[in-house]
Structure 1
Amino acid sequence: MANTSLITLPIELIHRILNNLDVYFINVSVRKVCKRLYLFVNFYNRYEFDLDLLSKSRLKIISRFIQPERITSLVLLNRSYALEKIKFFFSLFDINQLTQLRSITLGQFDQLKDAEFLQHLTISNLVSINIRSTSADNRNQLPFISKIMNQSSFLRMYLAESYYSISLIPWTNPCSIIYLTIKSCSLKEYDLLLQRLPYLRTFSTGEFIIDKLNQLNSSPSILKSYSQLMSLMIENGSLSMTDFELILSLTPSLTRLKLISYKSNLFSIANGSDWEYLIHNKLPNLKMFEFFFSYRLQKENEAEDLTLFLNQFRTLFWLKEKKWIVTCDYVLKQN
């Protein structure tokens, strides 16, 4: 096999490598290696600026090499020490020339005036937004969210680290989002999302909340279903098989399902026969089923029952029809 060095690689591969390198390292180190890499770096136009990782001095240095239109991703978390750095960044890079932004990550902006710059960003090419905010009041960002919702290029929204109320988000009709991840979701909100997001293909939530008292009033009709969703991920420690059946009845078109659950009673949701019935009747198109169910053993002899439990996942349905392999393990700790 012929020896291949970095500088002999085609520009497409070099740019893929640069995608994984720090913006400062690219311009201060890589571009100085040789003339070929110098040219490749000069043509590179997919820079991600994470202001948490860049000091003011480094920002000033790299501003001499990079034009604003070569920046495609911004991370502006606005931690307590970072607001001045954000302002400093925009003093170096003309906000009106950031025309190729495809991704933006935002933190919490406590004052409306601190978020005013968002309204001046060019978002015609924006594909995704990630909002990381621990505050329960995120109204300062709603005008910006409303603005990007109207962009046909906007496809992905990440709210897994934010306390956003689904009902307060200004969903457009129709909305172009195909990927959505949120911190928590109720059954009523899930139904609302499926109504408002006709192109949604992937949905992930850290917690699915079922209101037992108002479930009959707030639950969607069991006859209602939506065909757009293909992939669903739920991380939750309190859902029952009845809850799962109600949720999954809404989306019979699912091809991928991922569940993570921590229960006090493992066997209430890990019954292979129940899942076989549910998949047969509610999810006929399911191709990939990933689950992790965790349970703290109360007695040592319960470990012996796990073999019987696992046999429920060794039927023809699991092994032959679906070709899904299920394993189980446990750790016994001495007091």
Structure 2
Amino acid sequence: MSILKLEHLANEILYTIFDYLDGFHLIFAFRGLNSRFTSLINHIHLHINTTHCRKADFNYLFDDIFPFTTNIFSLTISNKHTLGPIEIFLNRHLDLIPHNQLNHLKLIDIDPQALNTFLKTILPKLTYLVSLNITNSITKFRYDLPVETMNVSLPAFKYLSLSIEQNSYYPHVPFFNEHMLMHRMESILSTVTHLSLEYSPRDIVGFTLLFEKLNKIEYLQITLDIDDEVARAIGNPFISNSQLIRDHGQYLRSFIIQIGYHILFIEIAALLTHFPQLQILSLATQEFTHDIQFYDGQAWEKLIQTSLPRLTSLRLYIFVDYLSSNPVLHDIINRFRTSFWLNEKKWYIVGDQFSNRSLQIYTIPCPKKSIVILNNTSIAWDTTLPSINLSTFHCITCLKIYITKIEANPILLPYFNNVKSVRLLTLPSKDYYLSQYINLSTLETVTIEC
């Protein structure tokens, strides 16, 4: 019986195998093994992810790999686990950039000084760049550098993602945030088609300013709120009506929104009327809302029928708290049981009421990264789903859990089979099992906040 060797496989099969490997490990495993493998690696797009590599390995890349390659297509550099890789990249970028048509770049936990160097020195040289992702969880750095607007031309640039966590302890201090970056990068926004601003809330009153530079936007992810003082000064709901947004937002197809506490349904409805071509809408409360119209199925139905005729996908997660009225969950869910919801759109709703003053509703599937509440003392649970099985709630990966020991609860709560992270607001008693509601084998992180 002959033994098949890796070298005997056809090039097409080897390329398929290479697709499963990160470029960093591909180089270490196969480059230099023989002339054929080296040639194959030199003729494919390499996606280098250094997130988990050692600093010594990163030095090796710049000493022995990057100066001699011409096919680095995407690069992810992180200071999260090892301090120094981003600084090495800044100091030695000439070993990489001139001879590689870098299309995609992701920087993780870059500090403000390094960011300033990157924007001034390196970004203008990335003439083939298509996407830039800056992700940062370092929230304690002051950004005392002058906020200069760049004059850069990147003709191929389309995708910009800024995910910078805010420091809630010092909200008025000029910390490193997404708004500063947006201001500095104004000159490259005109070609952007996909923009994601994950953390920094943008005032809905100034939303028009965002579209002054964006005129080809197709995908927008943003958090909207309204400043306390501005809300008091206006007095009434802010009803946007901007021809600039209509003109520059005419290509918007996907709109992903998180809303702050002060935002009202009527304000979101007015904003959405600017985008009749919208096909995908996802809306979630950042913490909670007090506006009962957000869970009014008939209000949503009227808005979609009159202003969003092309909408094919709707994802909602609404947590309502501190209500002055006493809502009846069954009545709320019934407003989503019309022919529009069940037959025409086939959009299904789940509702969970925790008290006379708080409840949550969400669609299945729900918005990505939504944190659904699991409370075994719920007073009501209802859904428009025609049937439920073990995979129904597969889309829910994050839970906030409030579990107490009770003798009996007639409310049958769902089973979540794909939860990756949970936040425990109470510790279950030793004889109470989370496995009644959660597939514990899929859990990756547990945070205790009690």
TM-score above 0.5: yes
Match of 1:318? 341
> How big is the shift at 1:36?
6.1
Aligned equivalents of 1:217 and 1:312: distance in 2?
24
Match of 2:299 among 270, 274, 281: 274
Structure 1 vs Structure 2 CA RMSD = 4.0
> How big is the shift at 1:186?
1.7
Match of 2:163? 160
Aligned equivalents of 2:6 and 2:190: distance in 1?
43
- Cα 1:81–1:174 change in 2 (3 A) is closer
Runs of 5+ in structure 2 lacking a partner? 166-176, 354-374, 378-403, 406-450
Match of 2:308? 283
> How big is the shift at 1:256?
0.7
User: Between Structure 1 and Structure 2, how many residues are aligned?
Assistant: 325
> How big is the shift at 1:228?
2.1
> How big is the shift at 1:20?
4.8
Aligned equivalents of 1:14 and 1:139: distance in 2?
49
Aligned equivalents of 1:307 and 1:293: distance in 2?
16
Deviations 1:261-317 (A, max 9, x none): 24354734110011011112221221111112234699xx96xx2222111111011
Correspondence list, 1:69-88, <5 A: 69-77=70-78, 82-83=83-84, 86-87=87-88
Aligned equivalents of 1:287 and 1:136: distance in 2?
43
Correspondence list, 1:1-335, <5 A: 11=11, 14-15=14-15, 18-31=18-31, 37=37, 39-50=39-50, 52-62=51-61, 63-66=63-66, 67-77=68-78, 82-83=83-84, 86-87=87-88, 90-91=91-92, 94-106=95-107, 107-110=110-113, 114-115=117-118, 118-119=121-122, 122-133=125-136, 134=139, 135=141, 137=143, 146-147=151-152, 150-161=153-164, 163-165=177-179, 168-172=183-187, 175-182=190-197, 183=199, 184-209=201-226, 211-215=230-234, 220-221=240-241, 225-226=246-247, 227-238=250-261, 239-261=263-285, 262-263=287-288, 265=290, 267-295=292-320, 305-329=328-352, 331-333=375-377, 334=404
8 Å Cα contact 2:78-2:86 kept in structure 1: no
Aligned equivalents of 1:80 and 1:21: distance in 2?
21
Deviations 1:40-84 (A, max 9, x none): 33433323243x433232234445345343222233455696347
- Cα 1:269–1:88 change in 2 (3 A) is closer
Aligned equivalents of 1:53 and 1:198: distance in 2?
38
Query: Could you say which structure has the higher helix fraction?
Result: 1
Runs of 5+ in structure 1 lacking a partner? none
- Cα 1:12–1:282 change in 2 (3 A) is farther
Aligned equivalents of 1:323 and 1:138: distance in 2?
51
- Cα 1:146–1:189 change in 2 (3 A) is farther
Letter in 1 for 2:307: K
Aligned equivalents of 1:265 and 1:188: distance in 2?
20
Aligned equivalents of 1:112 and 1:140: distance in 2?
12
> How big is the shift at 1:329?
4.3
Aligned equivalents of 2:214 and 2:225: distance in 1?
18
Structure ranking higher on relative contact order (CA contacts 8 Å, 6+ apart)? 1
> How big is the shift at 1:170?
4.4
- Cα 1:13–1:217 change in 2 (3 A) is farther
Aligned equivalents of 1:80 and 1:91: distance in 2?
20
Residue aligned with 1:118, SS: helix
Percent sequence identity over aligned pairs: 20
Residue aligned with 1:281, SS: helix
Residue aligned with 1:152, SS: coil
Aligned equivalents of 1:203 and 1:113: distance in 2?
25
